[in-house]
A and B are shown apart, each in its own frame.
Chain A
Amino acid sequence: MDISSVQKLCIHLISSAYQRCRLSEDLCRLSVLLESTLATPIVRVSISDTGTGSCLEEFQDLKYSREGLGTEKWDGLLSIKTTSISDNKIYHYHLNLRESGSSRRLTRLPSIPKNDTKFSGTEVCLSISDTIDALLTEIKRFFQKMLILMIPCVAAELVIKRGDVPGLPCENIFLPNECNPLNFSSSNVERLKSGLEEYVLKHGNILNNKCDSCFCSREQLKISSGVACSMESQRGPGLIVEAVIAISELAESPCFGSRSNKTEVLHFKDFSPCSASVASLNALTSIDWRSYGLTFGSIVDQVDHALIEWESLPPDLRIGKYKHQPDRHLIKKAVKLALDDFKGKYTGFLLSAHAVKICSYAPDLASSIAGIILSSNDLEFRSRCASLLKLSQSQEIGRQTVEDYCIKGKIISVIETNDRKPEKSKEAAPLLFEDYRPQDLEPIPYLEEYEGGDDGFSFQD
């Protein structure tokens, strides 16, 4: 693991602490303390967790880059205290990552006895020459993203003690939603869905609760997911990609103004936020977005997340996507599954541009069919039609709008169903029977030979 900045170092240490908590499968607490004093511009960072004990290798593997970090920011020293549940003491080490060679790097300090108490955990401390604010934004953002994963039973807190500010320390608490019915047995993708929902409702987990001005009800936010797996093979272990899509129906957001044509894409790998891989960017670019009514413009990898810019967005849509593991085909498959899941669950959403065009004919088609029914002087025929449309007898007479509405609704529903079918099955029926001779289809070329006959246009007609 290469460290190129103090922020990245802190994030990595916090992420490791999270993993240790996750693996313990028990109630855990993760605490990050940032302390500064008036006297010197030094921040003391302490990251402690009550997860499984850590092994030294995860710290020894850190590669300190002098060019990236600079000697003035960090002296390379880590103070580590760790214990596993089965240990009877707390081990204490100092690790100097500036030194090369394992013997010069590691200093063992006296252990602390546990006196027969059973607990596990780790505390890592380091001092950085920087301000708290330089670290704060990125650490907060990390926590906000980690909440999406909804790792159960991990309570995280970020405590800031500024030497120059009198009074109580400032605290931020990051807890998974207590009202959430998820528990240990929920799948990762269920957690991801729930986490993303909270993330969007709370404007990126900045708020503690759902923003009521933007979202009157949770139903305004629609979520779907897709999971793609590859089997274990000689080439490597099996991989899983889970993708979740959130679309909120907001024409105007009170908090952010008019809707944007950009979509945030967040990536996670091994239960930790990561940047977008080339495979992921390629996968997203290669999806046929038009079949979902979207026009892909470009994708940009920003530091914190990737951003898709759409050339034009269908009304009221914003999309967020989240996935694990880089593998281009799996990513594409997972995202497609999530998009198809969305289309299947929420009728009328993500209709391809083709389906939208065909739907535009629905009112006229319905009107003509309704006209044929209502203008017929055969009462039995009219009542048969009414019963097919499930209208009561008193409703059908003279209520063209009702017929239009019923018939139009059914036509649109059929078009939407067709749009959901996979591409290859769409063309089968017509081609099966056509004696395909393009010159016999429209427009009939023989028309141009007709001048004034009945079969062509004639003023005499």
Chain B
Amino acid sequence: MEGIRSRDLLRKIKEFTLSILEDLSEGRSPLISIQRFRIYCANFDSNCGCRSNKPNGHEILTFQKESHVHRIDVLLRVLLIVQQLLQESKHASKRDIYYMHPLVFSDQTVVDRAINDICILLQCSRHNLNVVSVGTGLVMGWLRFFEAGRKFDCINSSNTAHTIPVLVEDVKDIVSVAHYILIVEKESVFQRLANDKFCSKNRCIVITGRGYPDVSTRRFLRLLVDKLCLPVYCLVDCDPYGVDILATYRFGSMQMAYDAKFLRVPRIQWLGAFPSDSENYNLPQQCLLPLTMEDKRRTEAMLQRCYLHQEVPGWRSELELMLQRGTKFEIEALAVHSLSFLSEVYIPCKIQEITSICHI
């Protein structure tokens, strides 16, 4: 949520604290209500409401259950730290916060959950709390922007990778002559395209989240899409993880469900790789790996998600085909023909296919 100022959040923290104190001073057990959000469910009806951005019920934390009290304890400790960060205009990473009370927090996920709870309580995004993470995303291509006074000029060296800035709210003056944005799942594929000087021959912006994208990468991508209104294509491995990463970019993640509407990119299209590509591009049998039990379990679980039925039935068909065939393959397998097959043949063909379909 942009435009939220530290002042507003500090005020909300004080109001929250006062309400707890009021309850305690009147001998009442405090009740902390935290809304719950989700981006998908197992209900295939069109009225499941997962895409409405509305909360899906709430849970109430009380002093009556030990698990709740532990959660409240963690939440209050993190809230105290957040108040200090906001008052002093300092930033800390989630890992920094973990190390402030490692014995109590016991695990990073405990801190992550508390941060999420606070975001929901204060109705803000994580970066509003001055809680940051070291960025993992990379970008290259026909793009220029400024971040906190620094210039990122990808246009001058379009095949050089730059780290996606963490403080996305500080990104300004975006200029681009690209025709589309290409997202690739893995850093290895990103590097392949850089080596092949893909951006010299293709007017585009290439981004990678290096696996599951972090919040900064997703926010940056969303910013580019909102500012530049370019088509977005996504290239992932033909396996359950790849499709899940694609779904994360498109629909958001369950963990950041409360913020999904600011993080998802609805216009993203699945470029490849599809199960059918293994025939269409003559992949030899040895490139096809069998799906493990875990892969199959994951695929079956993903097939239960409502958006695969309601929004992207085409994706669902590909996933079902993958499960039916029982095989998967990585993007790199396309290099079986030649090292630069991906950059010179596969991607341009796929983009041609998609754009010609769109123009029909």
Query: Which residues of B (114-153) have their CB < 8 Å from a CB of A?
Result: 133-134, 136
Minimum Cβ distance to chain B for residue A360 (Å): 9
Closest to B72 in A: A365
Given contacts A433-B57, A454-B215, contact A388 B83 (CB under 8 A): no
Partner of B109, one of A371, A407, A457: A457
Measured between beta carbons, the chain A residues less than 8 angstroms from B65 are 430
Given contacts A354-B66, A389-B25, A417-B27, contact A430 B60 (CB under 8 A): yes
Measured between beta carbons, the chain B residues less than 8 angstroms from A373 are 17
- Residue A253 lies at the interface, judged by CB distance under 8 Å to chain B: no
Measured between beta carbons, the chain B residues less than 8 angstroms from A440 are 36, 38
Measured between beta carbons, the chain B residues less than 8 angstroms from A369 are 17, 20-21, 76
Interface size in chain A (residues, C-beta < 8 A): 55
Given contacts A430-B60, A435-B36, contact A461 B94 (CB under 8 A): yes
- Residue B1 lies at the interface, judged by CB distance under 8 Å to chain A: no
Interface string of B241-279 (1 = CB under 8 A from A): 100100010000111100000000000000000000000
Determine, out of A10-18, A73-81, A145-153, A408-416, the stretch whose residues face the partner at the interface: A408-416
- Residue A286 lies at the interface, judged by CB distance under 8 Å to chain B: no
- Residue B13 lies at the interface, judged by CB distance under 8 Å to chain A: yes
Q: Is the CB of A442 within 8 A of B113?
A: yes
Interface string of B36-63 (1 = CB under 8 A from A): 1010000000000000000011111011
Q: Is the CB of B56 within 8 A of A435?
A: yes
Query: Which residues of A (414-445) have their CB < 8 Å from a CB of B?
Result: 414-415, 417-418, 426-427, 429-430, 433-435, 440-444
Determine, out of A235-243, A274-282, A330-338, A377-385, the stretch whose residues face the partner at the interface: A377-385
Q: Is the CB of B109 within 8 A of A446?
A: no
- Residue B353 lies at the interface, judged by CB distance under 8 Å to chain A: no
- Residue B169 lies at the interface, judged by CB distance under 8 Å to chain A: no
Interface size in chain B (residues, C-beta < 8 A): 69
Measured between beta carbons, the chain A residues less than 8 angstroms from B109 are 443, 447, 456-457
Which residue of A361, A434, A441, A449 has the most chain B CB atoms within 10 A of its CB atom? A449
Partner of B59, one of A375, A434, A449, A455: A434
- Residue B24 lies at the interface, judged by CB distance under 8 Å to chain A: yes
Partner of A361, one of B73, B83, B94: B73
Q: Is the CB of A455 within 8 A of B57?
A: no
Q: Is the CB of A418 within 8 A of B80?
A: no
- Residue B213 lies at the interface, judged by CB distance under 8 Å to chain A: yes
- Residue B227 lies at the interface, judged by CB distance under 8 Å to chain A: no
A230 to B164, CA, bound (A): 78
A388 to B19, CA, bound (A): 10
Measured between beta carbons, the chain A residues less than 8 angstroms from B107 are 457
Interface string of B71-87 (1 = CB under 8 A from A): 01100110110011001
Partner of A426, one of B64, B67, B87, B213: B64
Given contacts A413-B27, A461-B95, contact A434 B17 (CB under 8 A): no
Measured between beta carbons, the chain B residues less than 8 angstroms from A414 are 24, 27-30, 63
- Residue B332 lies at the interface, judged by CB distance under 8 Å to chain A: no
Q: 4 closest Cβ contacts across the A-B interface?
A: A454-B214, A453-B212, A435-B57, A368-B76
10 A-B pairs with CB atoms under 8 Å apart are A385-B18, A410-B27, A435-B56, A440-B38, A446-B253, A453-B136, A454-B216, A457-B107, A457-B108, A461-B95
User: Chain B residues in contact with chain A, CB under 8 A?
Assistant: 10, 13-14, 17-18, 20-22, 24-25, 27-31, 33, 36, 38, 56-60, 62-67, 69-70, 72-73, 76-77, 79-80, 83-84, 87, 93-95, 104, 107-109, 112-113, 133-134, 136, 209-217, 241, 244, 248, 253-256, 298
Q: Apart from A369-B17, A378-B10, A454-B133, what are 15 other A-B pairs with CB-CB below 8 Å?
A: A358-B66, A364-B73, A368-B77, A369-B20, A371-B80, A411-B63, A418-B63, A418-B64, A427-B64, A429-B31, A433-B58, A444-B255, A447-B255, A450-B255, A452-B211
